[in-house]
Amino acid sequence: MQDWYTHQARDLPWRVPPGSNATPDPYRIWLSEVMLQQTTVAAVKAYYAKFTEIWPTVHDLAAAEDAAVMAAWAGLGYYARARNLLKCARAVVTDHDGTFPRTEADLLTLPGVGPYTAAAIAAIAFQQRAVVVDGNVERVMTRLGAITTPLPAAKPEIHALADILTPEDRPGDHAQAVMDLGATICTPKSPACVLCPLRDACAGRKAGIAETLPRKAAKVPKPERRGYVYLAKNGADYLVETRPSKGLLGGMLAFPTSDWSDRPLPAAPFDARWRDAGDVRHTFTHFHLTLKVMATSKRGNPDRGEWTTLDPAALPTVFAKAFRAAFPEP
DNA sequence: GATCCGTGGAT
DNA sequence: TATCCAAGGAT
């Protein structure tokens, strides 16, 4: 594995190349790991570059305004990560003297840092032996060991096998090697087994079931929801609000909306002749949404939100779609 | 253990 | 077009 990684490691902006004498920056390892939670490398790169440019150290990030961080995270999704990112940066500065804790157990106490991320930071940033298990490792281990127990029940078996394979030497490189293997060779569909350094040891391949692993419980279909969204423009100002800090799109900039449900009730923020700007479709993690976009250029006295200039890039994707529907670019 | 929580690319 | 899926965590 290590030998394979030495030559086949992906070149990533947050990564210290294998064999390098450079010391990884725990802040950057942590930032990248949080961004990479359930998110593709391709999507993360631009956000990682932006965050490290604007906030080069944990002190800079801890001192940032909440709204600035939420705006910078807009479009990346899972916005609780951004809220916890700030909480974590402030906890590191306030409770840990500006230095990230070095042990898996201490890392685990930080907001937004769970079992995977704590192990990854301990191994990659601090060269500590930690058993790193993410989706890639789950796939590689279930195939390597021909583990047919469905997830999540298979997690203890997976962790046990990953533990056996984790070395004392260069545990961070080992973890990244397995993840790179999962991302480039041991892929969910059509794995390139002929190129795999573990092909001779792989029980899943031997049994001819590698591609069918890991087994997972059937997913529930997403229900349909509908709603109204209200885009009011007055000169250079738009009527926007900050969503409640918990729940869907929590803490993000938004346009006023109705409830999102089976039979939504119109809920205009003020009386006006609202223009029907068409429908916008968007799919969230657990439901499909169709929003009817209502627009006006009349300034009224809204019952919520405030009039301000707006950078559409600071909006979650569903509201960016609504913006483009109401005010298409020439 | 089950549910909630985004997004965009691949198939 | 519909579904799957990605370096998961909080509750």
pLDDT at A329: 79
pLDDT at A134: 97
Distance of CA A146 to the CA centre of its chain: 29
Which nucleotides in chain B lie closer than 7 A to a protein CB?
A: 1-9, 11
Neighbours of A154 (CB within 10 A): 20
∠ at Cα A301 (A328, A258), nearest 5°?
60
pTM over 0.75: yes
pLDDT at A2: 82
pLDDT digits 0-9 by tens, A210-250: 999 999 988 888 999 999 999 999 999 999 999 999 999 99
Q: CATH for A2-212, among 1.10.10.60, 1.10.4160.10, 3.30.450.20, 1.10.340.30?
A: 1.10.340.30
Question: What gap in Å lies between CA A202 and CA A208, rounded to an integer?
Answer: 10
From A33, A65, A138, A168, the catalytic residue: A33
- Give, as one character, the DSSP assignment of residue A217: P
Q: Is A306 a catalytic residue?
A: no
Tokens of A104: 């898996």
A148 CB closer than 7 A to any strand B atom:
no
Residues 90-129 of A with CB under 7 A from strand B: none
Which nucleotides in chain C lie closer than 7 A to a protein CB?
A: 3-10
Residue A21 identity: N
pLDDT at A234: 94
A63 Cβ partners below 8 Å, 6+ apart?
Answer: none
- Give the distance, in angstroms, between residue A220 CA and nucleotide C4 C1': 13
Q: Which residues of chain A have pLDDT under 50?
A: none
Where b means 16+ CB within 10 Å and e means fewer, A233-246 reads beeeebbbbebeee
From A317, A295, A304, select the one nearest A242 (Cα to Cα): A304
- Give the distance, in angstroms, between residue A14 CA and nucleotide C5 C1': 23
Quickly tell me which residue has 């509201």 as its tokens: A319
Which helix (H) or strand (E) is A87 found in, with range?
Answer: helix A80-95
Residue nearest to nucleotide B8 (CA to C1'): A43
Residues 113-152 of A with CB under 7 A from strand C: 113-118, 120, 134-136, 139
Q: Cβ(A66)–Cβ(A86) under 8 Å? A: yes
pLDDT digits 0-9 by tens, A256-296: 999 999 999 999 999 999 999 999 999 999 999 999 999 99
Neighbours of A7 (CB within 10 A): 7
pLDDT at A19: 85
Question: What gap in Å lies between CA A200 and CA A246, rounded to an integer?
Answer: 49
Domain ranges of chain A: 2-212, 224-326
Pairing of strands A288-296, A224-234: parallel
The CATH superfamily of A224-326 is: Nucleoside Triphosphate Pyrophosphohydrolase (3.90.79.10)
- Give, as one character, the DSSP assignment of residue A194: G
For residue A78, give the 3-state DSSP assignment.
coil
A4 Cβ partners below 8 Å, 6+ apart?
Answer: A177, A181, A197
pLDDT at A217: 87
